[in-house]
Structure 1
Amino acid sequence: MIQAEQKKSLSPVWDPWDPWYTRSEKGRYELTSVEFTVTQLCNLRCEHCAVGEMLVQEEGTFLPVDRLIRRLDEVESLQTISITGGEPVLNPQVVRDMIRPLLRYARSRGLYTQINSNLTLPLSRYEDWIEDVDVLHISYNYRDAADFHRIAFEKNGRDVSPAAAEALFNRMVDNAKALSRAGVFVSAETLLSPFTAPYVAGMHRDVSEMGCRRHEVHPLYPSDFAKGMELISLDTYRNTILELLDKRDPSVWILFGTLPFYPCSDEAADRECWLRLHREKNVTVRHDPDGRNRLNINTFTGDVFVTDFGEVPSLGNVERDRLDAVFQRWLERPEAKRLHCFCPAARCTGPNILVADAYYSNWDFQQRQAGVILSSS
């Protein structure tokens, strides 16, 4: 096993999930992050879920965790492990036989860890392993319990009472506050949609009041349950994030992920937005990890993907393929070559595949030139 190294604290100047660091320092993309889909169970059926069509009512049989860890041991460049679902904490067997061994391995090797949870389960379900997690990632797309009731059970297929939904919503908020007070790095994500965009400043206040250290803001990904949802226009998106910057709590780190604006835009407003985001304190733009430094493993089939959602087919399988070999295979694919442009002067590594297809289907990113330059500072 590769020996652990001293870990730097997470901050706006160090986000190990961001592929920018490796690409800018080494001149190439490198596999530094592996994400595991450890369950296809979930107690919610959110309308915006990008993996909703893969959710099931009965858990399948996952691969032995030792087999997965052997593959991780082959990746010398590995820095982070992420755990997602479904709701990873819902099945105690998954926690015992998959999550905790992966977290122990990561701790022994000095890797950064993230787990994605809706945080609606009893607090005791988190307390005995949460100290091994660097980032507890939650979704927050609600103004109140009524919003939660509609959004979280939109695709449920059976009635859930408002009182039951309110109890889960309150538990999520209370859990976030309790874990934040205990020193857990809670990062809340909001997806910008026609419903959330008008209220994102209020949601940001809620995130701050829950004690979350970071608020992530992402586009709505048009995948699975969300495929039929309306995407907001780029003008609305830009105005929304500028309003958020004006009204934000400056003590909360805001991370704009898979941002649908680029320094090579023909629109002056987009270029000005890019500049402001890179000048604001405690604000970062995370470059898309999927395929630039991260692969996803389905722990039931062993299939390896460039992302846990979207339509790029499996690139390999852990039963027969090394992960670094799978990653190199992806870099040679036409999709990667089309999107993996790089502009160090503007600090840009190009678009997310879903965002590019949704908003910029007629752009050739490899032929565009940045219209802004960021200072070296």
Structure 2
Amino acid sequence: MEQHENFRIKSRISPQFDPWDAWHTRLAKGRYELTSVEFTVTNLCNLRCEHCAVGEELVEREGAAIPVELLIRRLDEIDTLQTISITGGEPIVSPKVVKETIQPLLKYAKSRGIYTQLNSNLTLPLSRYEDWIEDLDVLHISYNYRDVHDFHRIVFAKMGREVDIKAAETLFGRMKENSRALAKAGVFVSGESLLSPFTSQFIDQMHHDLVEMGCARHEVHPLYPSDFARHADLISLEQYEEAIHRLLEVRDPNTWILFGTLPFFPCSDDRQHRGLYTQLHETPNVTVRQDPDGRNRLNVNGFTGDIIVTDFGDVPSLGNIHHDRLSDIFDRWLQHPLAKKYHCYCEQAKCTGPNILVANAYYNNWDFTKRSAEGLVKIV
């Protein structure tokens, strides 16, 4: 494989360097740049999880995908590109998608020194991962279960038919075995838990399960109130805070914990919330990721070509890959009223403002651009 003319030597992904975090570019360049593109490559999935953020897009059969050559041509136009994410659906369900879309994207990224992540439920046979996984940087999985009974209830919640517990036992066991096997082989497996009224009570157990599964990182996010989960109850900020403290008390110190779309801010009126924000930044092997959506990332639908700022929100399509350059779309987005509303920036507090969903859920009446983190010790 030939090395791309824009090849970058990659640093090791670690708590000190998360290439998906919008903070690095904003600090270094003084502005946001398009460094990340996420592709939705399939609307097929073998599960129907109750928390799925794209559940209503899932299909039994899907139409023709956009040729990968066009996707790569658009990526080639982005000089600032650093990361590519691949999602679905379950990207590995279709061998055709793996061969014709995923593998070419991974090889292209490797030729440029671009970091890659693929989101998978990891329930398919291990052989489906083995002939391409070496080109992947991060294998991302969701984990929101205490046991097989939770798994059975959650992942088949929207299936539309009864699924035998035996099927759940097979898939649940396979997911754990696959994770251990791939981690042992050197794959960076990152397990994500979504905090909800259910999972927040058991986040400590889920953390230890992920450690036992060989995960190098545990990501913790709020449950997004969208799609299948749009009617789900959100936990209160007090419950969220309790869950974080419980996790920090029992965590494995050798496992990186990443808090994404965190609903606590250094400009909060609540002293405890400000203290928690500072604590997370000062705790070894714990990081707070500044939200990539709209700050350094766009999402591309691999079938319609539509370009959106987030795969979870309600911001309409900003353009289409058939006739728009992604960098042009991103520059246009930065002038959008929503971007201006939420793209506040505080270098002292290492904060780039809220995720749109978090702001709507917890801080609907706040104007973040008029708040400040005065009195906070500088976070490095």
What TM-score range do you get, normalising by the shorter chain? over 0.9
Q: Contact 1:264 / 1:372 at 8 angstroms: preserved in 2?
A: no
Tell me the CA shift for residue 372 of structure 1.
4.9
Q: Contact 2:220 / 2:259 at 8 angstroms: preserved in 1?
A: yes
Q: Does 1:207 align with 2:210?
A: yes
Partner of 1:13: 16
Report SS of the residue matched to 2:310.
Answer: coil
Tell me the CA shift for residue 371 of structure 1.
4.1
Partner of 1:180: 183
Partner of 2:346: 343
Partner of 1:162: 165
How far apart are the structure 2 equivalents of 1:57 and 1:372? 55
Aligned residue pair count:
377
Which runs of 5 or more residues in structure 1 are unaligned? Answer: none
User: Among 286, 291, 294, which residue is 1:288 paired with?
Assistant: 291
How far apart are the structure 2 equivalents of 1:188 and 1:2? 34
Q: Does 1:43 align with 2:40?
A: no
How far apart are the structure 1 equivalents of 2:364 and 2:190? 31
How far apart are the structure 2 equivalents of 1:275 and 1:285? 10
Partner of 1:262: 265
TM-score, length basis structure 2 = 0.98
Partner of 2:278: 275
User: Among 350, 355, 358, which residue is 1:355 paired with?
Assistant: 358
Tell me the CA shift for residue 374 of structure 1.
3.9
Correspondences of 1:1-377 after superposition (within 5 Å): 1-375=4-378, 377=380
Report SS of the residue matched to 1:272.
Answer: helix
Q: Contact 1:263 / 1:372 at 8 angstroms: preserved in 2?
A: no
Structure 2: which amino acid aligns with 1:297? Answer: V
Q: Aligned pair in 2 of structure 1 residues 374, 97: CA closer, same or farther (>3 Å)?
A: farther
Q: Contact 2:349 / 2:379 at 8 angstroms: preserved in 1?
A: no
How far apart are the structure 1 equivalents of 2:98 and 2:152? 27
Q: Contact 1:148 / 1:169 at 8 angstroms: preserved in 2?
A: yes
Tell me the CA shift for residue 271 of structure 1.
0.4
Tell me the CA shift for residue 134 of structure 1.
0.3
Q: Contact 1:2 / 1:73 at 8 angstroms: preserved in 2?
A: no
Report SS of the residue matched to 1:190.
Answer: strand
Q: Contact 1:271 / 1:371 at 8 angstroms: preserved in 2?
A: no
Report SS of the residue matched to 2:214.
Answer: coil
Moved more, 364-373 or 295-304: 364-373
Which runs of 5 or more residues in structure 2 are unaligned? Answer: none
Q: Contact 2:259 / 2:288 at 8 angstroms: preserved in 1?
A: yes
How far apart are the structure 2 equivalents of 1:342 and 1:278? 17
Tell me the CA shift for residue 148 of structure 1.
0.2
Tell me the CA shift for residue 307 of structure 1.
1.1
How far apart are the structure 2 equivalents of 1:347 and 1:195? 31
How far apart are the structure 2 equivalents of 1:219 and 1:335? 21
Report SS of the residue matched to 1:297.
Answer: strand
Q: Aligned pair in 2 of structure 1 residues 58, 374: CA closer, same or farther (>3 Å)?
A: farther
After superposition, give the CA deviation of every residue in 1:63-109 in whole Å (9 maximum; x if it has no partner). 11001101000000000000000000001100000000000000000
Q: CA RMSD in A?
A: 0.8
How far apart are the structure 1 equivalents of 2:279 and 2:249? 11
Report SS of the residue matched to 1:228.
Answer: coil
Moved over 4 A (4+): none
Tell me the CA shift for residue 273 of structure 1.
0.2
Q: Contact 2:281 / 2:379 at 8 angstroms: preserved in 1?
A: no
Tell me the CA shift for residue 243 of structure 1.
1.2
After superposition, give the CA deviation of every residue in 1:313-349 in whole Å (9 maximum; x if it has no partner). 1001111111000001111111000000000000000
Report SS of the residue matched to 1:114.
Answer: strand
Q: Contact 2:350 / 2:379 at 8 angstroms: preserved in 1?
A: no
How far apart are the structure 2 equivalents of 1:69 and 1:157? 37
Tell me the CA shift for residue 242 of structure 1.
1.2
How far apart are the structure 2 equivalents of 1:371 and 1:361? 22
Moved more, 256-265 or 52-61: 52-61
How far apart are the structure 2 equivalents of 1:348 and 1:373? 12
How far apart are the structure 1 equivalents of 2:294 and 2:141? 23
Tell me the CA shift for residue 310 of structure 1.
1.5
Moved more, 100-109 or 302-311: 302-311
Q: Aligned pair in 2 of structure 1 residues 371, 204: CA closer, same or farther (>3 Å)?
A: farther
Q: Contact 1:265 / 1:371 at 8 angstroms: preserved in 2?
A: no
Report SS of the residue matched to 2:230.
Answer: helix
Structure 1: which amino acid aligns with 2:212? Answer: E
How far apart are the structure 2 equivalents of 1:162 and 1:361? 41
